Amino acid sequence: MCILAVLYRLVPESPILVAANREEYYDRPTSPPSIQSGKPRVLCGVDQRAGGTWLGVNQHGMFVGLTNRRGNVDPIGARSRGLLAREVLRCTSARSAVDKAVDELMTHRFEGLNLVVCDAESGWVIHSDEDHEVVALEEGLNIISNMNVNDPRDERVQLAHRLLTLQMLDSPVKFLAVASKVFARPPSSPGRPSMVVRGTDYGTVSSTLIALSPKPRDAIFQYAAGAPDRTKYEDYSPMLRDILSRGLREARSKAKASS
């Protein structure tokens, strides 16, 4: 399933704020976030079985997040959705990333997915199953699980929205503090929506909190390598700040060379 919240362009010092829980089979091996080789530099975790990712940030300050989509029959010969996310993370902007993703979706077979792509300039969600739909991110809170973004029919999305809007999230510190508690909400009684999913062989396997800022030194990346109600978030911010600083230096060099 997975659930992902993006507070977009509401907090000036951090126009992209993210909280995400990943659900997967417990026996599927995963590498924690690391800086990937190649250009642009990308910080993401890696699914060791297929080589893809579910979430990442590149040196241009672009965020990409992926969730599975409900009700899609697995097509024969489908490509990995996580590999699509990694390919998109190689783009230099959200607009070019959306074009890249749509082209890949039109060319290859994939299982149903929702792909969130955003940077400081634009933000988008691609819903893809039998058809493909590109939707602009709203300014403010956007939450997506395995249906449409901000879908009123999705009880888990509505629970997250209610819990995240109990107070004003007007700073990155406040957003991360509130989101860390909301996304660590333990499973409730059977049949009711919950933020942490815990089954026999499938459930919440990790959680991520991100704050992207125009100033690399203010960026934050925290990752829990397990369900966040039982696993502490570890700080990966130095890695994120490193790639964002690299991106800023390269952009300044290009601007100077062209002037």
Domain ranges for the chain, please list them.
3-258
Q: Which of 62, 40, 21, 47 is nearest to 203 (CA)?
A: 21
The CATH topology of domain 3-258 is Penicillin V Acylase; Chain A (3.60.60)
Cα pseudo-dihedral 161, 166, 56, 27, rounded to 10: -70
Task: Kindly report the pTM of this predicted structure.
Answer: 0.96
Q: What is the pLDDT along the chain (259 residues), one digit of tens a residue?
A: 799 999 999 999 999 999 999 999 999 999 999 999 999 999 999 999 999 999 999 999 999 999 999 865 566 678 999 999 999 999 999 999 999 999 999 999 999 999 999 999 999 999 998 889 999 999 999 999 999 999 999 999 999 999 999 999 999 999 999 999 999 999 988 778 899 999 999 999 999 999 999 999 999 999 999 999 999 999 999 999 999 999 999 999 988 888 7
Burial class (CB in 10 A: 0-12, 13-18, 19+), 224: buried
**Confidence (pLDDT) at 73:** 57
The one-letter amino acid code at 147 reads M
Model pLDDT, residue 192:
86
pLDDT reported for residue 71: 67
128: nearest Cα among 81, 83, 63: 81
Token pair for residue 152?
A: 């009123």
